[in-house]
Structure 1
Amino acid sequence: MDEENLRKRTGEANGGDELSLQTSKPKTTNLQQEVGLISGICMIVGTIIGSGIFISPKSVLANVAAVGPCLIIWAACGILATLGALCFAELGTTITKSGGEYPYLMEAFGPIPAYLFSWTSLLVIKPSSFAIICLSFAEYASAPFYPGCDPPVVVIKCLAASAIVVITAVNSLSVKLGSYVQNFFTAAKMIIVLIIIVSGIVLLAQGKTENFKNSFKDAKLSTGSISLAFYNGLWAYDGWNQLNYITEELKNPYRNLPLSIIIGIPLVSVCYVLINISYFTIMTSTELLQSQAVAVTFGDRVLYPAAWIVPLFVAFSTIGAANGTCFTAGRLVYVAGREGHMLKVLSYISVKRLTPAPAIIFYGAIAIIYTIPGNIETLINYFSFAVWIFYGLTLLGLIVMRFTRKELKRPITVPIVIPVFVTLSSIFLVLAPIISQPELPYLYCALFMLGGLIFYFLFVHFKFNWAQRISKPTTMYLQMLLEVVPAEEITE
């Protein structure tokens, strides 16, 4: 693609050739700052409230075995997520680069930890999360068509793969379209959240409190059970750091990033505790553990004959969370490619759409692979194990940079006790299940993460010629096919 044609296409993407010719300023083919405060809050709420609150209550209760500890775990998870997000607000306003933990690890510890994070995130954490959410969407969306029995596995997996394809296409086409879709589904999911909460408040007012008596009786509290309960609860809160993946696309990030966090995450925490209280107003612990879909059981008992509303809006909720995950995770691939830690084409921007289309498509393709063998409960445990290793490492980086990078401007500074507490919590979450209930898959997960070092030294550090000979023609072909260019200034 020659320079004249490239300038022409860039002008069209920014409003037409006339604008391109009239300005004397250089054109930037880059990510655009189009995400405001409302969209930021919707991105947090929409990404966090997804499949987790409709799947995890059963798993949290199964680990602690009593109503009281279960509700405490949900509240504690919200506090931990809020504290972690405040630390990320400092990181996001200090290092205003997209990519979440990646640029922070790069600044604090150098390229190797950053590469291991991108390796693990791109191939395990993010696509498995996307796959889990879409599988949950498929289960709820197909349930009304198979009353009285479980939907066929092939139907669930095909529907999940179709959802991934549609979401990937939407986010590849337009940043604004992705934001509008997110805002719509966030509004839709808040409807079902409000329906469940209001129904629970009405039931409590009617005296439905018998399930809260002796709420700590027969509680099963151990280091392993508490950590696994936190794993499942924190899965429902996952997404609290999503805005840090799109810092470069936030309008006025110094204001909107912390405000979105302060408003969004406490709102989600209150909703989660109230939703669990609503569940227990109508179900005993035993009934909740026996339920195949907690929200559907709640709807059948409370909203009949309008119970169909629940699976419909739960499907909206999960598809909205999947859209938010895709929107943000594609930026991590983009940043890793820009730093040379992935194929260079993954850092390219669509000339027409100004979106990181190659990164988003790559992310969607990996997620589809995860839907094939996907086991939701197992994936959640090992997802949480991997992700909290890097959460803890990132917050340790925040502490380290307080002493090694004092020259950095910090528009937001949290008390150092907060990152210290969250770092220690992440160490507990990572080590407790291994010590109390050691399993080989944890070892496999750790070995896979460290296995990224092989590719780092082969392709990034030493840059063997044969690897470049393979990647260069691949990059050129994909660049022509997808009509993408490097994120750089085009001067006239």
Structure 2
Amino acid sequence: MHRSDYICKLLFGYTENLEIGFEGSASSFGQIVTAFYGGLWAYDGWNNLNFITEELQNPYRNLPLAIIIALPLTTVCYVLINVSYLTVLTPQEIISSNAVAVDWGNAVLGPASFLIPLGVVMSVFGTANGSMFTAGRISHVAGREGHAPDFLSYIHIEKKTPVAPILLNSLLGILMIIPGDIGTLIDFFGFTASIFYCAAMVALIVMRFTKKNEHRPIKVPIIIPIIVMLVSAILVVVPIAAAPQVQYFYALCFIFAGLIFYVPFVYYKKTVPGMKSFTIFCQKALQIAPTTGH
């Protein structure tokens, strides 16, 4: 191969791979819908910012602005990265690879290929930091609203952070990764998340008509929640109909099991014996205290 041909291949890759990149792919509707779970897993951080609106400066401006800027930018980056994979690696190499990005780095970057795993580590750290910062606020507000034990609504006396919810999320995360099957976890998460996305959109659409005069500082065209609702419903129904798996049944049981706790402990406001002593223990061990006005 001439030097000029080598440089062209290095810069532009094997563009013919783009034409055959999807040959042999799954064609059934059920498999395609299930594949969306993996894609949505990569983009799931889009909703994390919504959990901390109380702590944002000027949230009614900055929240929509952050989402409008971040989502298209992330989409463009992901699409270009996948195009680069297909222009450098053949479909067979991608399928057989344990780490596509690493193989791409070895082919393109040479001695600098160590930048790929380094970038992955930085990305994982950033994702974990964002998840820890935002997801803990769900349990924190649930405790504040009486939907979870009170100690989850308490914050650290010095750091002002919801320590107990962060530890709870960490524990749940450890339990979920024990099986070691990331594919099953993604399917489980995608299916469950789609149920809540669909339910949230249904509630939003209903309230658009039943509470027309409510103040809405953030408002979008109603077609957007309708589209999200329909797509989420498809992501829930089609995998069950096309290829039912046991994790879908577990997910539904896990969701409906909430009624077992909601009815006595939230609706009837019953308390578990010894909860007060446990709350005091958590306060001393974690150095947490109720927020002002709790």
1:317–1:268 Cα change, 3 Å: same
Q: 1:480 aligns with which of 265, 277, 284?
A: 284
Mean Cα deviation higher: 203-212 or 317-326: 203-212
Contact persistence 1:204–1:281 (CA under 8 A)? no
1:411–1:204 Cα change, 3 Å: farther
Q: Which amino acid aligns with 2:285?
A: L
Contact persistence 1:203–1:281 (CA under 8 A)? no
Counterpart in the other structure of 2:270:
464
Q: 1:348 aligns with which of 154, 161, 165?
A: 154
Secondary structure of residue in 1 paired with 2:113 = coil
Distance in 1 (alpha carbons) for counterparts of 2:151 and 2:83? 48
Q: Which amino acid aligns with 1:227?
A: V
Residues 1:307 and 2:143 aligned together:
no
Q: 2:239 aligns with which of 433, 457, 461?
A: 433
Q: Compute the RMSD of aligned alpha carbons.
A: 1.8
Contact persistence 2:17–2:89 (CA under 8 A)? yes
Counterpart in the other structure of 1:227:
33
Q: 2:84 aligns with which of 278, 281, 288?
A: 278
Contact persistence 2:13–2:88 (CA under 8 A)? no
1:482–1:220 Cα change, 3 Å: closer
**Gaps in structure 1 of 5+ consecutive residues:** 1-201
Distance in 1 (alpha carbons) for counterparts of 2:284 and 2:109? 54
**Gaps in structure 2 of 5+ consecutive residues:** 1-7
Q: 1:296 aligns with which of 77, 81, 102?
A: 102
Aligned length: 287
Q: Which amino acid aligns with 1:208?
A: Y
Q: Which amino acid aligns with 2:287?
A: E
Shift of 1:217: 4.3
Residues 1:415 and 2:227 aligned together:
no
Counterpart in the other structure of 1:62:
none
Q: Which amino acid aligns with 2:84?
A: S
User: Cα deviations across residues 350-383 of structure 1 (Å, max 9, x unaligned)?
Assistant: 1211111121122212222333223111100111
Counterpart in the other structure of 1:335:
141
Aligned-pair identity (%): 50
Q: Output aligned runs, 1:188-207, within 5 Å.
A: 206=12
Secondary structure of residue in 1 paired with 2:112 = coil
Contact persistence 1:382–1:442 (CA under 8 A)? yes
Distance in 2 (alpha carbons) for counterparts of 1:277 and 1:378? 26
Q: Which amino acid aligns with 1:391?
A: Y
Distance in 2 (alpha carbons) for counterparts of 1:362 and 1:207? 47
- If the length of structure 2 is used for normalisation, what is the TM-score? 0.92
Shift of 1:215: 5.0
Shift of 1:413: 2.3
User: Cα deviations across residues 418-464 of structure 1 (Å, max 9, x unaligned)?
Assistant: 11111000000011111111122211221121111111123222233
Q: Which amino acid aligns with 2:253?
A: L
Mean Cα deviation higher: 261-270 or 474-483: 474-483
Higher relative CO (Cα under 8 Å, sequence separation at least 6) belongs to: 1
1:219–1:376 Cα change, 3 Å: closer
Counterpart in the other structure of 1:39:
none
Counterpart in the other structure of 1:377:
183
Q: Output aligned runs, 1:171-250, within 5 Å.
A: 206=12, 208-215=14-21, 217-250=23-56
Contact persistence 2:154–2:288 (CA under 8 A)? yes
Q: Which amino acid aligns with 2:157?
A: V
Q: Output aligned runs, 1:44-63, within 5 Å.
A: none
1:367–1:219 Cα change, 3 Å: closer
Contact persistence 1:235–1:380 (CA under 8 A)? yes
Q: Which amino acid aligns with 2:289?
A: V
Q: Which amino acid aligns with 2:288?
A: V
Q: Which amino acid aligns with 1:233?
A: G
Contact persistence 2:88–2:107 (CA under 8 A)? yes
Distance in 2 (alpha carbons) for counterparts of 1:341 and 1:289? 45
Secondary structure of residue in 1 paired with 2:110 = coil
